[in-house]
Amino acid sequence: MEKIDYLIIGQGIAGTTLSYNILQRGKTCHVASDDNSISSSYISAGVINPVTGRRIVKSWMIDELMTTARLTYGGIGELLGENFITSREITKLLSDVEEENLWLSKMDDLPEYLGYENDSERYRKHFNDYRSVGKIKNAMVVNIKQLLKSWEKFLTNKQLLIKARISPEEMFVENEGVRYRDVNYSKLIFADGHNGLSTRFFDFLPYKNAKGEVLHIRSKEYSLNEMIKGTSGIIPEGDTFWIGSSYEWDSKSELPSKANYNRILKRFDQMSKFEYEIISHSAGMRACSVDRRPYIGRHPEIDAFWIMNGLGTKGMSLAPYFSLHLLNHIEENKPLIKTVDIKRMLT
Ligand SMILES: Cc1cc2nc3c(=O)[nH]c(=O)nc-3n(C[C@H](O)[C@H](O)[C@H](O)COP(=O)(O)OP(=O)(O)OC[C@H]3O[C@@H](n4cnc5c(N)ncnc54)[C@H](O)[C@@H]3O)c2cc1C
Protein backbone atom coordinates (compact mmCIF):
# COMPACT_ATOMS: atom_id res chain seq x y z
CA MET A 1 0.00 0.00 0.00
CA GLU A 2 1.24 3.48 -0.82
CA LYS A 3 2.46 5.42 2.25
CA ILE A 4 2.22 9.20 2.45
CA ASP A 5 3.10 11.40 5.44
CA TYR A 6 0.05 13.66 5.53
CA LEU A 7 -3.52 13.91 4.32
CA ILE A 8 -4.90 17.46 4.59
CA ILE A 9 -8.65 17.90 4.43
CA GLY A 10 -9.55 21.26 2.91
CA GLN A 11 -7.73 23.63 0.58
CA GLY A 12 -8.74 26.99 1.97
CA ILE A 13 -5.92 29.17 3.27
CA ALA A 14 -5.19 26.71 6.11
CA GLY A 15 -4.86 23.67 3.82
CA THR A 16 -2.87 25.70 1.28
CA THR A 17 -0.25 26.98 3.74
CA LEU A 18 -0.06 23.61 5.52
CA SER A 19 0.56 21.66 2.32
CA TYR A 20 3.12 24.23 1.12
CA ASN A 21 5.07 23.95 4.39
CA ILE A 22 4.88 20.14 4.41
CA LEU A 23 6.34 19.96 0.90
CA GLN A 24 8.99 22.53 1.82
CA ARG A 25 10.15 20.14 4.56
CA GLY A 26 10.58 17.36 2.04
CA LYS A 27 7.59 15.44 3.43
CA THR A 28 4.81 13.97 1.30
CA CYS A 29 1.16 14.98 1.37
CA HIS A 30 -2.15 14.77 -0.40
CA VAL A 31 -4.79 17.48 -0.13
CA ALA A 32 -8.48 16.60 -0.29
CA SER A 33 -10.66 19.46 -1.43
CA ASP A 34 -14.22 19.47 -2.61
CA ASP A 35 -14.59 22.97 -4.02
CA ASN A 36 -12.44 25.77 -2.69
CA SER A 37 -14.41 28.40 -4.58
CA ILE A 38 -17.16 28.08 -1.98
CA SER A 39 -14.74 28.33 0.94
CA SER A 40 -14.60 31.19 3.37
CA SER A 41 -11.07 31.85 2.11
CA TYR A 42 -12.24 32.32 -1.48
CA ILE A 43 -14.86 34.92 -0.58
CA SER A 44 -12.58 36.82 1.82
CA ALA A 45 -11.05 40.19 1.02
CA GLY A 46 -7.58 38.81 1.72
CA VAL A 47 -6.62 41.78 3.88
CA ILE A 48 -4.10 41.62 6.71
CA ASN A 49 -4.85 44.65 8.87
CA PRO A 50 -2.28 45.27 11.60
CA VAL A 51 -4.65 47.29 13.79
CA THR A 52 -8.03 46.24 14.99
CA GLY A 53 -11.19 47.22 16.80
CA ARG A 54 -12.84 50.43 17.91
CA ARG A 55 -10.07 51.02 20.45
CA ILE A 56 -7.50 50.92 17.63
CA VAL A 57 -5.05 48.41 19.07
CA LYS A 58 -2.38 46.29 17.47
CA SER A 59 -3.77 42.91 16.33
CA TRP A 60 -2.69 39.89 18.40
CA MET A 61 0.90 38.77 17.54
CA ILE A 62 0.76 40.89 14.40
CA ASP A 63 4.49 41.53 13.98
CA GLU A 64 5.36 37.81 14.01
CA LEU A 65 2.30 36.94 11.93
CA MET A 66 3.15 39.48 9.24
CA THR A 67 6.76 38.39 9.01
CA THR A 68 5.74 34.77 8.47
CA ALA A 69 2.93 35.78 6.11
CA ARG A 70 5.40 37.69 3.91
CA LEU A 71 7.80 34.74 3.84
CA THR A 72 5.10 32.14 3.19
CA TYR A 73 3.12 33.98 0.51
CA GLY A 74 6.40 35.19 -0.99
CA GLY A 75 7.73 31.61 -1.00
CA ILE A 76 4.62 30.19 -2.67
CA GLY A 77 4.84 33.00 -5.21
CA GLU A 78 8.47 32.21 -5.95
CA LEU A 79 7.68 28.52 -6.37
CA LEU A 80 4.83 29.25 -8.78
CA GLY A 81 6.36 32.25 -10.53
CA GLU A 82 3.57 34.58 -9.40
CA ASN A 83 3.02 37.34 -6.87
CA PHE A 84 0.27 36.87 -4.29
CA ILE A 85 0.87 39.71 -1.82
CA THR A 86 0.98 43.48 -1.99
CA SER A 87 1.80 45.92 0.77
CA ARG A 88 -0.95 48.51 0.97
CA GLU A 89 -2.30 51.35 3.08
CA ILE A 90 -5.86 51.37 4.31
CA THR A 91 -7.64 54.71 4.18
CA LYS A 92 -9.77 55.13 7.30
CA LEU A 93 -12.62 57.65 7.14
CA LEU A 94 -12.87 59.10 10.64
CA SER A 95 -16.48 59.91 11.37
CA ASP A 96 -16.37 62.53 14.14
CA VAL A 97 -14.14 64.50 16.55
CA GLU A 98 -14.15 61.72 19.08
CA GLU A 99 -12.85 59.16 16.61
CA GLU A 100 -10.36 61.66 15.23
CA ASN A 101 -8.97 62.43 18.71
CA LEU A 102 -8.62 58.75 19.54
CA TRP A 103 -6.82 58.18 16.23
CA LEU A 104 -4.44 61.09 16.81
CA SER A 105 -3.64 59.91 20.33
CA LYS A 106 -2.97 56.35 19.09
CA MET A 107 -0.59 57.57 16.39
CA ASP A 108 2.09 58.10 19.06
CA ASP A 109 1.69 54.52 20.33
CA LEU A 110 1.70 52.88 16.89
CA PRO A 111 3.80 55.11 14.59
CA GLU A 112 4.70 52.14 12.34
CA TYR A 113 1.04 51.44 11.64
CA LEU A 114 -0.94 54.70 11.99
CA GLY A 115 -0.74 57.85 9.92
CA TYR A 116 -2.88 60.85 8.99
CA GLU A 117 -3.90 62.21 5.57
CA ASN A 118 -3.21 65.93 5.24
CA ASP A 119 -5.22 66.30 2.05
CA SER A 120 -8.41 64.70 3.35
CA GLU A 121 -10.59 66.91 1.09
CA ARG A 122 -9.71 64.81 -1.96
CA TYR A 123 -12.06 62.11 -0.70
CA ARG A 124 -15.13 64.44 -0.60
CA LYS A 125 -15.83 63.75 -4.25
CA HIS A 126 -16.65 60.15 -3.40
CA PHE A 127 -17.68 60.05 0.25
CA ASN A 128 -20.19 61.74 2.58
CA ASP A 129 -19.92 63.06 6.08
CA TYR A 130 -16.50 62.19 7.31
CA ARG A 131 -14.50 64.42 9.62
CA SER A 132 -10.95 63.58 8.52
CA VAL A 133 -8.89 60.71 7.15
CA GLY A 134 -6.45 58.39 8.90
CA LYS A 135 -4.12 55.89 7.27
CA ILE A 136 -3.28 52.37 8.38
CA LYS A 137 0.24 51.77 7.13
CA ASN A 138 1.94 48.48 6.32
CA ALA A 139 -1.24 46.49 5.76
CA MET A 140 -1.13 43.68 3.21
CA VAL A 141 -3.49 42.18 0.69
CA VAL A 142 -3.31 38.56 -0.33
CA ASN A 143 -4.62 37.89 -3.83
CA ILE A 144 -6.50 35.02 -2.31
CA LYS A 145 -8.59 33.86 -5.26
CA GLN A 146 -5.53 33.64 -7.48
CA LEU A 147 -3.49 31.95 -4.74
CA LEU A 148 -6.10 29.25 -4.12
CA LYS A 149 -6.54 28.54 -7.82
CA SER A 150 -2.81 28.53 -8.61
CA TRP A 151 -2.03 26.25 -5.66
CA GLU A 152 -4.86 23.93 -6.68
CA LYS A 153 -3.35 23.75 -10.18
CA PHE A 154 0.11 23.04 -8.74
CA LEU A 155 -1.27 20.22 -6.57
CA THR A 156 -3.20 18.81 -9.51
CA ASN A 157 -0.13 18.81 -11.77
CA LYS A 158 1.90 17.05 -9.08
CA GLN A 159 -0.99 14.58 -8.57
CA LEU A 160 -1.30 15.61 -4.94
CA LEU A 161 -4.92 16.78 -5.06
CA ILE A 162 -7.87 14.53 -4.25
CA LYS A 163 -10.80 16.39 -5.72
CA ALA A 164 -13.54 15.04 -3.47
CA ARG A 165 -15.51 15.64 -0.32
CA ILE A 166 -14.14 13.07 2.10
CA SER A 167 -16.73 11.22 4.11
CA PRO A 168 -15.98 9.50 7.43
CA GLU A 169 -17.11 6.10 6.10
CA GLU A 170 -14.15 6.09 3.71
CA MET A 171 -11.51 6.70 6.41
CA PHE A 172 -10.10 3.87 8.49
CA VAL A 173 -7.97 4.57 11.54
CA GLU A 174 -5.26 1.91 11.70
CA ASN A 175 -2.32 1.17 13.97
CA GLU A 176 -0.05 3.39 11.97
CA GLY A 177 -2.16 6.26 10.75
CA VAL A 178 -5.24 6.51 8.58
CA ARG A 179 -6.22 4.63 5.42
CA TYR A 180 -8.15 6.38 2.69
CA ARG A 181 -8.61 4.86 -0.80
CA ASP A 182 -5.72 2.39 -0.52
CA VAL A 183 -3.23 4.95 0.75
CA ASN A 184 -1.87 4.91 4.29
CA TYR A 185 -1.34 8.36 5.75
CA SER A 186 0.74 8.76 8.92
CA LYS A 187 -1.23 11.85 9.88
CA LEU A 188 -4.43 13.56 8.88
CA ILE A 189 -4.85 17.30 9.44
CA PHE A 190 -8.36 18.71 9.38
CA ALA A 191 -8.16 22.17 7.81
CA ASP A 192 -11.79 22.04 6.85
CA GLY A 193 -13.20 25.34 8.10
CA HIS A 194 -16.86 25.77 8.90
CA ASN A 195 -19.01 22.68 9.23
CA GLY A 196 -16.37 20.24 7.98
CA LEU A 197 -15.68 16.71 9.17
CA SER A 198 -13.63 17.96 12.10
CA THR A 199 -16.79 19.14 13.87
CA ARG A 200 -17.71 15.46 14.15
CA PHE A 201 -14.37 14.16 15.43
CA PHE A 202 -13.43 17.20 17.49
CA ASP A 203 -16.92 17.73 18.86
CA PHE A 204 -15.59 19.26 22.09
CA LEU A 205 -14.46 22.38 20.20
CA PRO A 206 -17.11 25.10 20.44
CA TYR A 207 -17.61 27.47 17.50
CA LYS A 208 -19.35 30.79 17.23
CA ASN A 209 -19.63 31.14 13.49
CA ALA A 210 -20.07 34.44 11.70
CA LYS A 211 -21.66 34.48 8.29
CA GLY A 212 -20.21 37.23 6.11
CA GLU A 213 -21.78 38.58 2.95
CA VAL A 214 -20.18 40.75 0.29
CA LEU A 215 -21.14 42.55 -2.89
CA HIS A 216 -19.01 43.15 -5.93
CA ILE A 217 -19.72 46.41 -7.72
CA ARG A 218 -18.46 48.20 -10.80
CA SER A 219 -18.39 51.96 -11.17
CA LYS A 220 -17.41 54.34 -13.98
CA GLU A 221 -17.33 57.30 -11.57
CA TYR A 222 -15.23 55.83 -8.79
CA SER A 223 -11.54 55.79 -9.52
CA LEU A 224 -9.71 55.35 -6.18
CA ASN A 225 -7.39 52.38 -6.17
CA GLU A 226 -7.24 52.28 -2.36
CA MET A 227 -8.67 50.16 0.38
CA ILE A 228 -11.24 52.27 2.23
CA LYS A 229 -12.65 51.63 5.68
CA GLY A 230 -15.66 53.64 6.74
CA THR A 231 -19.10 52.40 7.72
CA SER A 232 -18.46 49.91 4.93
CA GLY A 233 -15.25 48.54 3.42
CA ILE A 234 -14.23 49.02 -0.23
CA ILE A 235 -11.44 46.93 -1.69
CA PRO A 236 -10.33 47.08 -5.33
CA GLU A 237 -10.42 43.59 -6.88
CA GLY A 238 -9.50 43.54 -10.57
CA ASP A 239 -11.90 45.84 -12.40
CA THR A 240 -14.52 45.52 -9.64
CA PHE A 241 -14.76 46.57 -6.01
CA TRP A 242 -15.41 44.28 -3.06
CA ILE A 243 -17.96 45.89 -0.72
CA GLY A 244 -18.78 44.74 2.77
CA SER A 245 -18.86 42.78 4.76
CA SER A 246 -21.68 41.84 7.10
CA TYR A 247 -21.44 39.82 10.33
CA GLU A 248 -24.28 37.50 11.27
CA TRP A 249 -23.56 35.32 14.29
CA ASP A 250 -24.67 31.67 14.33
CA SER A 251 -26.78 31.96 11.20
CA LYS A 252 -28.50 28.70 10.29
CA SER A 253 -28.23 29.38 6.56
CA GLU A 254 -25.02 29.54 4.55
CA LEU A 255 -26.76 31.30 1.65
CA PRO A 256 -26.71 35.01 0.89
CA SER A 257 -29.84 36.73 2.24
CA LYS A 258 -31.90 39.68 1.09
CA ALA A 259 -31.72 41.19 4.60
CA ASN A 260 -27.91 41.28 4.60
CA TYR A 261 -27.85 42.51 1.01
CA ASN A 262 -30.00 45.46 2.08
CA ARG A 263 -27.90 46.04 5.19
CA ILE A 264 -24.66 46.22 3.18
CA LEU A 265 -26.21 48.54 0.62
CA LYS A 266 -27.69 50.83 3.28
CA ARG A 267 -24.30 51.29 4.94
CA PHE A 268 -22.54 51.71 1.64
CA ASP A 269 -25.05 54.27 0.34
CA GLN A 270 -24.75 56.30 3.56
CA MET A 271 -21.03 56.51 3.06
CA SER A 272 -20.59 56.87 -0.70
CA LYS A 273 -21.84 59.30 -3.32
CA PHE A 274 -21.10 57.72 -6.69
CA GLU A 275 -23.08 55.63 -9.13
CA TYR A 276 -22.37 51.92 -9.38
CA GLU A 277 -23.82 48.64 -10.60
CA ILE A 278 -23.94 45.47 -8.53
CA ILE A 279 -22.20 42.52 -10.14
CA SER A 280 -22.56 39.79 -7.53
CA HIS A 281 -23.61 38.95 -3.99
CA SER A 282 -22.03 36.09 -2.05
CA ALA A 283 -21.73 34.63 1.44
CA GLY A 284 -19.16 32.70 3.45
CA MET A 285 -18.92 31.32 6.96
CA ARG A 286 -16.12 32.37 9.28
CA ALA A 287 -15.39 29.47 11.64
CA CYS A 288 -14.69 31.39 14.85
CA SER A 289 -13.41 29.86 18.08
CA VAL A 290 -15.10 31.09 21.23
CA ASP A 291 -11.95 32.79 22.56
CA ARG A 292 -10.76 34.24 19.22
CA ARG A 293 -7.67 32.06 19.09
CA PRO A 294 -7.17 29.29 16.53
CA TYR A 295 -7.83 25.64 17.34
CA ILE A 296 -4.55 23.79 16.82
CA GLY A 297 -3.44 20.38 18.06
CA ARG A 298 -3.80 16.63 18.25
CA HIS A 299 -6.97 14.68 18.88
CA PRO A 300 -7.08 13.52 22.53
CA GLU A 301 -7.67 9.86 21.57
CA ILE A 302 -6.83 9.35 17.89
CA ASP A 303 -3.09 9.98 17.55
CA ALA A 304 -3.16 10.37 13.77
CA PHE A 305 -5.77 13.16 13.82
CA TRP A 306 -4.72 16.80 13.99
CA ILE A 307 -6.60 20.04 13.49
CA MET A 308 -6.04 23.62 12.37
CA ASN A 309 -9.31 25.48 12.39
CA GLY A 310 -11.17 28.38 14.03
CA LEU A 311 -9.21 31.03 12.14
CA GLY A 312 -12.22 33.33 12.44
CA THR A 313 -11.85 36.75 10.86
CA LYS A 314 -8.08 36.61 10.40
CA GLY A 315 -7.20 33.51 8.39
CA MET A 316 -4.83 35.37 6.05
CA SER A 317 -2.43 36.33 8.85
CA LEU A 318 -2.95 33.33 11.15
CA ALA A 319 -2.66 30.48 8.63
CA PRO A 320 0.99 30.97 7.54
CA TYR A 321 2.30 31.30 11.10
CA PHE A 322 0.23 28.53 12.65
CA SER A 323 0.87 26.07 9.79
CA LEU A 324 4.57 26.36 10.61
CA HIS A 325 3.87 26.28 14.33
CA LEU A 326 1.83 23.07 14.02
CA LEU A 327 4.42 21.36 11.81
CA ASN A 328 7.26 22.39 14.16
CA HIS A 329 5.28 20.72 16.90
CA ILE A 330 4.55 17.53 14.97
CA GLU A 331 7.96 17.13 13.33
CA GLU A 332 10.29 18.62 15.95
CA ASN A 333 8.28 18.25 19.12
CA LYS A 334 8.35 22.01 19.76
CA PRO A 335 5.62 23.03 22.22
CA LEU A 336 2.37 24.55 21.05
CA ILE A 337 1.46 27.97 22.41
CA LYS A 338 -1.07 27.19 25.15
CA THR A 339 -3.56 29.81 23.96
CA VAL A 340 -3.97 28.00 20.61
CA ASP A 341 -3.61 24.38 21.78
CA ILE A 342 -7.01 22.64 21.67
CA LYS A 343 -6.22 21.11 25.06
CA ARG A 344 -7.50 24.37 26.55
CA MET A 345 -11.02 23.31 25.59
CA LEU A 346 -10.71 19.98 27.40
CA THR A 347 -10.04 21.32 30.89
C1 LIG B 1 -16.93 37.87 3.91
C2 LIG B 1 -15.64 37.46 4.54
C3 LIG B 1 -14.54 38.31 4.47
C4 LIG B 1 -13.34 37.94 5.06
N5 LIG B 1 -12.27 38.80 4.92
C6 LIG B 1 -11.08 38.44 5.49
C7 LIG B 1 -9.95 39.26 5.33
O8 LIG B 1 -9.97 40.30 4.65
N9 LIG B 1 -8.79 38.88 5.94
C10 LIG B 1 -8.69 37.72 6.66
O11 LIG B 1 -7.61 37.42 7.21
N12 LIG B 1 -9.75 36.90 6.80
C13 LIG B 1 -10.94 37.24 6.23
N14 LIG B 1 -12.02 36.42 6.37
C15 LIG B 1 -11.87 35.20 7.19
C16 LIG B 1 -11.14 34.12 6.39
O17 LIG B 1 -11.84 33.94 5.21
C18 LIG B 1 -11.06 32.83 7.22
O19 LIG B 1 -10.38 33.06 8.42
C20 LIG B 1 -10.28 31.75 6.44
O21 LIG B 1 -10.69 31.73 5.13
C22 LIG B 1 -10.45 30.38 7.05
O23 LIG B 1 -9.72 29.50 6.23
P24 LIG B 1 -9.80 27.92 6.38
O25 LIG B 1 -8.82 27.36 5.40
O26 LIG B 1 -9.66 27.56 7.81
O27 LIG B 1 -11.29 27.52 5.98
P28 LIG B 1 -12.04 27.57 4.57
O29 LIG B 1 -11.57 28.70 3.75
O30 LIG B 1 -13.49 27.50 4.88
O31 LIG B 1 -11.57 26.25 3.84
C32 LIG B 1 -11.99 24.95 4.24
C33 LIG B 1 -12.11 24.11 2.99
O34 LIG B 1 -12.30 22.74 3.38
C35 LIG B 1 -13.23 22.15 2.51
N36 LIG B 1 -13.78 20.95 3.14
C37 LIG B 1 -14.53 20.89 4.28
N38 LIG B 1 -14.85 19.60 4.55
C39 LIG B 1 -14.28 18.84 3.56
C40 LIG B 1 -14.26 17.43 3.30
N41 LIG B 1 -14.88 16.55 4.07
N42 LIG B 1 -13.58 16.99 2.19
C43 LIG B 1 -12.93 17.87 1.37
N44 LIG B 1 -12.92 19.22 1.58
C45 LIG B 1 -13.60 19.69 2.68
C46 LIG B 1 -14.26 23.28 2.33
O47 LIG B 1 -15.09 23.06 1.21
C48 LIG B 1 -13.32 24.47 2.13
O49 LIG B 1 -12.94 24.57 0.78
C50 LIG B 1 -13.23 36.72 5.75
C51 LIG B 1 -14.32 35.85 5.81
C52 LIG B 1 -15.51 36.20 5.19
C53 LIG B 1 -16.68 35.24 5.24
- State the CATH number of the domain containing residue 157: 3.50.50.60
Pair 275, 216 in one domain: yes
Nearest Cα neighbor of 163 from 28, 35, 38, 40 is 35
Pair 296, 185 in one domain: yes
Asked if 313 and 210 touch (Cβ cutoff 8 Å), the reply is yes
Q: Is the pLDDT of residue 215 over 80?
A: yes
Q: Which atom of ligand 1 is nearest to the CA of 197?
A: 41
- Tell me the one-letter amino acid at 158: K
Q: How far is the CA of 154 from the centre of ligand 1 (A)?
A: 19
Pair 132, 59 in one domain: yes
Once rounded to an integer, what is the mean pLDDT over residues 95-113? 95
137-156 pLDDT tens trace: 999 999 999 999 999 999 99
pLDDT class of 1 with cuts at 50, 70, 90:
confident
Q: Is the pLDDT of residue 258 over 80?
A: yes
Asked if 272 and 280 touch (Cβ cutoff 8 Å), the reply is no
Mutational test site, ligand 1, from 195, 207, 286, max ligand atoms within 8 Å of CB: 286
Domain termination residue (choose one: 270, 286, 302): 286
Domain termination residue (choose one: 113, 142, 171): 142
Provide the β-strand partners of residue 308.
Answer: 296
pLDDT class of 44 with cuts at 50, 70, 90:
very high
CA–CA distances in Å: residue 56 to residues 59, 93, 102, 212, 247: 9, 13, 8, 22, 19
Q: What is the pLDDT of residue 68?
A: 98
Predicted structure pTM score: 0.96
Q: What is the pLDDT of residue 220?
A: 94
Nearest Cα neighbor of 214 from 250, 251, 247, 192 is 247
Q: Is the pLDDT of residue 347 over 90?
A: no
Give the pocket of ligand 1 (CB within 6 Å). 9-15, 32-36, 39-41, 43-47, 165-166, 191-194, 196-197, 212, 214, 244-245, 284, 286, 309, 311-317
9-23 pLDDT tens trace: 999 999 999 999 999
Q: What is the pLDDT of residue 89?
A: 96
Q: Which atom of ligand 1 is nearest to the CA of 310?
A: 26
Residue 134's domain comprises 51-142
